[in-house]
Chains A and B, each alone.
Chain A
Amino acid sequence: MGNEWALVFFTSFVALGAGTFMAVGFNEWRGFDPKVRWSGAVAAIILLSLGGFSSVMHLGHPERIFGALGHPTSGIFMESSMIGLTALCIVAYLVALKRNAALGTLRFIASVGVVLAAILAFAVGDSYIMGARPAWDTLILPLIYLMTAVVAACFAYNIMHKPNLSVGDSITTKSLTLLALLVMAVLIIAYVVHISSDDFPDYSRSATRILSGDLAPLFWAGIVLVGIVIPAILALIKPANNSRSTLAIIALVCVFIGAISFRLMMFKLGTSVWQFF
């Protein structure tokens, strides 16, 4: 397995974890099923840990990681500190839950967590913006990373939700989900446009490669179909009783697969301006 797999999983799990906690935070303000608070937060922290674990897998010398503390500008510092802070926040939230803290406290902690999770999701993408790799040299990239988390949040929210959602809530949720997927779709299109307009054009990072080259299956099947179209259809289906979370789980898995596909594609496209060796 190539080196990028660790990073693919790292960023995908982080998106999923961040999204999950976003859903928990949302939940806090909408005030429903208290049972999902605990399981949602635990799921989020597990997903983030999986992400963190993946990223450590990728290091040659994880034992020297503390050296990173002294260099707060690096992407890794941002990523790991954001993971740390987000996780800390989630733990605080869990502790607060355990101690039956007041709703206000919980809401406050959760809100901070949502913001941190969003920053985390964005930061993980942001550290790939590099002049060295024209395919990565765009703000669209972290925005896509952020939107992955948001889309994941939408479905996670659906999973956590009580079976009987009010009509209003149901419409809001559905619209938000579709909106998120739409934004995602727009970002993906923007990304392909970005790819095809670089100063140092090369087939390895071309729209042709994405749309009809060796990356086409990954793009059309993984990113477009599984990552966006199927989740959108699942969001549109009017669920039978009790099947809401089943559909949402399927959708979330699709989103995760879409995230992995996108990241894989991104690594394949991420060739440097020259490659000496």
Chain B
Amino acid sequence: MVQKTLVIDLDRCIGCYSCEVACKQENNVALGDYYGKVLTVGPVGEFPNLQQYFLPTVCQECRDAPCVKVCPTGASYKADDGSILIDKEKCIGCRYCMMACPYGARSFNAEEKVVEKCTMCKHLTDVGGEPACVKACPAQARFYGDIDDPKSIVSQVVANAGAENVHSLPDRGNHPTVRYILHKENAEWQAIEPKETWREFHQPPRTEGENKNG
């Protein structure tokens, strides 16, 4: 099988938001919406003994994607390369997929009245390019490729890191494929969503229920 996905090395990530803006430029994402957003996890601990890392969030390209399962029209689908995509022409804007996503990785495009999400820049990768965020990332912390192919860059990055340093977001049966690399020496991986991720401070995440666009 082919499973294209992103691997993000949190040991490298410097929290610069470049990926976010690169994505907005590339995909023309509306204000207040995101396909990827950089969260700050921490500081954890007590001054001056602290840990912190940044968590760039994107769709986790689930193997068993619940967003696809609940979609009534097939607008959300798993493509041949394993990526989860949305055919906006088919989307009825019911937002069940948003409810079904364990991570709030999708947004409702209020203008087009359809749901959208990270496309892994399919229009670029289809022609041999890299996703915009991967290309822009100053720390070269982002990798794109086929996680099922042991020779791919993403598989190699994961293999090099060693299993104990490879993390993924909580699995609710959806089997996320995005992998985060973080070594303990840098910071302890927080398995449960931390209380404050700084961005909430300026912009609290908008749950489906409280979605501004609803």
Contact = CB atoms under 8 A, between A and B. Distances in A.
The answer to whether A and B touch in the complex, with CB atoms under 8 Å apart, is yes
Interface in A83-122: none
Nearest to B113: A60
A270 B91 contact: no
Contacts of B170: 199-200, 273-274
A76 B69 CA distance: 11
Contact of B205 (A67, A77, A270, A276): A276
Given A71-B74, A75-B72, A275-B103, A268 B209 contact: yes
Majority secondary structure of chain A interface residues (helix, strand, loop or mixed): loop
Central interface residue in B71, B114, B173, B208, by most chain A CB within 10 Å? B208
A267 interface: yes
Nearest to A63: B92
B33 interface: yes
A127 B70 CA distance: 8
Nearest to A78: B72
B34 A132 contact: no
Nearest to A58: B94
A64 B213 contact: no
Given A75-B72, A276-B34, A3 B104 contact: no
A128 B95 CA distance: 12
Given A64-B91, A67-B73, A274-B169, A132 B209 contact: no
Interface in B126-141: none
Interface string A42-68: 000000000000000011111011011
A59 B108 CA distance: 11
B172 to A, nearest CB: 3
A58 B211 CA distance: 13
B125 interface: no
Nearest to A130: B100
Q: How large is the interface on A (under 10, 10 to 19, 20 to 34, 35 or more residues)?
A: 35 or more
B174 interface: yes
B193 interface: yes
A76 B104 contact: no
A130 B34 contact: no
A268 B39 CA distance: 23
Contacts of B206: 277
A25 to B, nearest CB: 29
Contact of B209 (A4, A68, A137): A4
Contacts of B157: none
A26 B65 CA distance: 42
B99 A277 contact: no
Given A70-B74, A131-B172, A132-B172, A61 B66 contact: no
B104 A2 contact: no
Contacts of B169: 273-274
Given A68-B73, A71-B74, A273-B169, A132 B94 contact: no
Contacts of A75: 70, 72, 96
Nearest to B90: A67
A3 B73 contact: no
A196 to B, nearest CB: 16
Nearest to B114: A60
A81 to B, nearest CB: 10
Sorted nearest first, the 8 A-B pairs with minimum C-beta distance are A60-B93, A3-B214, A60-B113, A131-B172, A76-B72, A67-B73, A132-B102, A68-B72
23 contacts: A1-B214, A59-B93, A60-B108, A60-B112, A60-B113, A61-B114, A64-B73, A70-B74, A76-B72, A130-B70, A131-B66, A131-B102, A132-B66, A132-B172, A133-B102, A134-B172, A202-B192, A270-B208, A272-B101, A273-B102, A276-B39, A276-B57, A277-B57
Given A133-B99, A273-B172, 19 more contacts: A58-B94, A59-B94, A60-B91, A60-B115, A61-B92, A64-B92, A68-B72, A74-B72, A131-B102, A131-B174, A132-B66, A132-B99, A132-B102, A132-B103, A134-B172, A199-B170, A271-B207, A272-B208, A273-B103
Interface of A: 1-4, 58-62, 64-65, 67-68, 70-71, 73-77, 127-128, 130-134, 137, 199-202, 267-268, 270-277
